[in-house]
Chains A and B, each alone.
Chain A
Amino acid sequence: KQEVTQIPAALSVPEGENLVLNCSFTDSAIYNLQWFRQDPGKGLTSLLLIQSSQREQTSGRLNASLDKSSGRSTLYIAASQPGDSATYLCAVGDNAGNMLTFGGGTRLMVKP
């Protein structure tokens, strides 16, 4: 059974800092890995999707990497802004269908 862990559970940083969020998973037989953002009381916004054959994806100030062999992914946020404050969720897609296994999330606060 796939298990996904995100560390840290919460993070508070001053504006402008570069930061890294970590995600680890137990079963390397994945289809893809997706990073989401969730604002309080809202749904999930897809940030980046990495296919199992890829090593990284970039979008603006965000960069996500994937190391299947070690069961790890990182989300790098450059020059953080207060608007980046949200919960960031990592989810692993399995090979059997459109089922995602989610980590517990990292709650990020960027202080002005």
Chain B
Amino acid sequence: KAGVTQTPRYLIKTRGQQVTLSCSPISGHRSVSWYQQTPGQGLQFLFEYFSETQRNKGNFPGRFSGRQFSNSRSEMNVSTLELGDSALYLCASSRIRSDTGELFFGEGSRLTVL
């Protein structure tokens, strides 16, 4: 059974550009959530999607957005990139909320903003 797949694994952008990251959840998982990991702030919750609807959102500016498609795949977008957006972006999937709630993470997309 394939795990959570994130693409691209590594990318370099310059300030002011935008970036789109993709996440394919484990087959059968309908919830996808995104986290940002930086050395200074650790792991922070960005948002969660379930059945194409954003159910929860962390404390990030509006430059961070996401969406989920009917096949549960998800994308997140960061516009007008800043140096501080350099981070490892992790996607996690889980089954429906009434289940154990166990989250399974992908390998992440490492974004460097120059």
Residues of A at the B interface (CB closer than 8 Å) are 31-32, 34, 36, 41-46, 49, 51, 89, 91, 93, 96-105
**B105 A43 Cβ-Cβ under 8 A:** yes
Report the minimum CB–CB distance from A40 to chain B (whole Å).
Answer: 11
Selected from B88, B97, B110, the residue in CB contact (under 8 A) with A98 is B97
Is B70 an interface residue, CB under 8 A from the partner? no
Q: What residues on A are CB-neighbors of B68 within 8 Å?
A: none
Complex interface residues of chain B between 1 and 51 (CB less than 8 A to chain A): 4, 6, 31, 33, 35, 42-45, 48, 50
Interface size class, chain B: 20 to 34
Total inter-chain residue pairs, C-beta < 8 Å: 71
Q: What residues on B are CB-neighbors of A31 within 8 Å?
A: 101
CA of A41 to CA of B90 in the docked complex: distance in angstroms?
11
**A104 B42 Cβ-Cβ under 8 A:** yes
**B56 A98 Cβ-Cβ under 8 A:** yes
Nearest-neighbor residue (CB-CB) of B107 within chain A: A43
Selected from B6, B45, B50, the residue in CB contact (under 8 A) with A100 is B45
CA of A111 to CA of B47 in the docked complex: distance in angstroms?
38
CA of A32 to CA of B99 in the docked complex: distance in angstroms?
11
Report the minimum CB–CB distance from A16 to chain B (whole Å).
Answer: 30
CA of A31 to CA of B94 in the docked complex: distance in angstroms?
14
**B42 A49 Cβ-Cβ under 8 A:** no
Q: Which 8 A-B pairs have the closest CB atoms?
A: A102-B43, A44-B105, A43-B107, A97-B56, A43-B105, A49-B102, A97-B55, A43-B108
Selected from B31, B103, B108, the residue in CB contact (under 8 A) with A46 is B103
CA of A91 to CA of B56 in the docked complex: distance in angstroms?
17
**B48 A97 Cβ-Cβ under 8 A:** yes
